[in-house]
Amino acid sequence: MSRLALPSIECVPGGRAFASLSRRVRTLAVAGILFVVLFVLALTMPVPYVVLSPGPTYNTLGTDDNGNTIVVIDGRKPSHTSGHLNLTTVSISSTSLTPFQAIAAWLNSDEVVVPKASIYPPGTSEQKTNEQNTQDFLSSQDSATAAALCELHYPKGFGVLKVNADGPSHGVLQPGDFLRTVDGKPAGSVDALSTALATESPGKTVPLTITRDAKPAELDVKLGPPLKKKKNGARLGIVVANGCLAPFTIDLGLGNQIGGPSAGLMFALGIMDKVGTVDLTKGRFIAGTGTIDSAGKVGAIGGIQLKMIAAKNKGASVFLAPAGNCGDVRKATPHGLKVIKVSTLHSAVQSLLDLQEGKPVVGC
């Protein structure tokens, strides 16, 4: 009988310890892989922060990125201007910020990391916030126009700010006309004008009494239909305001490029330089920021440190800062940038004139 030779089996001392060690290595390897995966996910998943950085600046005396004039004067020839009056902005990063991007921005001296909720309040969508910023920007333009015209000493009262090109008053009324009556009814305020037009019919020709160039006048206007949201009454097709009015129209741009109210001061100065008789810059590169109301009061804004950096990077040598921001300006002013404190449009103008004459100006 033949026999098969079987391989011998040898017993290895410590076999159980070897198996235990293998399981431990496998466990550590799996844990290490999981750690790497979680670490990568932690660095790539969005965090509730945004990055603020110096944004673009725009010369209110010049044009925007598309070549469109920023301050348009219609009805008179603009005055000669020689320098820059730049409004400044802050750029906001994408809201899908990763931890790695946040850390990188935090280490960058030209960027600031802030909670997303400080820019987009909880319960309010980004779209709604952006829409509000756009509305604030447009309101600041209206306030800047009113403040500039009053600082230039145009007459004050209730009247025509703008005549719509396709409206019934085109060619009859003019910017700067002060309204008195419509069809014999008082029209010297927004409420009075609305009441007077509410009982009129579209297509009817009515007499208007106005004051133009400080002289009374009577005109006839064929009324147009009311706006779609109104069912009754008629309209004149004009934009009215209660403030200082000029016999020309001012249109301000950049409405689809930036938002918020902080460009008001620089818009007002740009208007004054274009329709006034004094060159406010004398060739200097001046930048600044600040809200403004129709009375010319300048208010504080956010992100002024980044706006100063943006101004200096663009080439500005002078920066106009709201008095309410002086605490933020100190120890944050870029080297070579002269900061002037302003509280009103009048004080801003006076400081620019003093600067031209070599007189001392108040800084932060």
Is the Cβ–Cβ distance between 136 and 144 less than 8 Å? no
Q: How far apart are CA 31 and CA 29, in angstroms?
A: 5
Name the 3-class secondary structure at 57.
Answer: strand
Of residues 110, 105, 81, the one with CA closest to residue 94: 105
> From the CA atom positions of the chain, what is the Rg in Å?
33
Burial 238-274 (b: 16+ CB within 10 A, else e): bebbebbbbebbbebbbeeebbbbbbbbbbbbbbbbb
Per-domain residue ranges for the chain? Answer: 49-94+126-152+250-356, 156-244
pLDDT given for residue 19 in this prediction: 52
Q: What string of DSSP letters covers 78-127?
A: PPP--SEEEEEEEEE--S-B-HHHHHHHHT-TT-EEEEGGGTS-TTS-HH
CATH number of 49-94+126-152+250-356: 3.30.230
Shared fold status for 49-94+126-152+250-356 and 156-244? no
pLDDT given for residue 8 in this prediction: 40
Compute the 3-state secondary structure of the chain and give helix, strand, coil in percent, each to the nearest 5: 30, 25, 40
Q: Backbone phi, then psi, for 326, in 5-degree steps?
A: -60, -35
pLDDT given for residue 182 in this prediction: 95
Mean pLDDT by 10 residues, the chain (364 residues): 38 50 62 58 65 92 92 92 94 75 73 78 80 86 93 94 91 94 94 93 94 94 84 89 91 84 95 95 96 94 94 96 94 93 97 95 92
Q: How far apart are CA 119 and CA 92, in angstroms?
A: 9
pLDDT given for residue 114 in this prediction: 77
Q: How far apart are CA 247 and CA 215, in angstroms?
A: 13
Q: At what angle do helices 264-275 and 126-151 cross, to 10 degrees?
A: 40
pLDDT given for residue 267 in this prediction: 96
pLDDT given for residue 69 in this prediction: 95
The single residue listed with the structure tokens 């009061």 is 297
- Fold exhibited by the domain 156-244: Pdz3 Domain (2.30.42)
pLDDT given for residue 232 in this prediction: 83
pLDDT given for residue 331 in this prediction: 84
172 token code pair: 């009859």
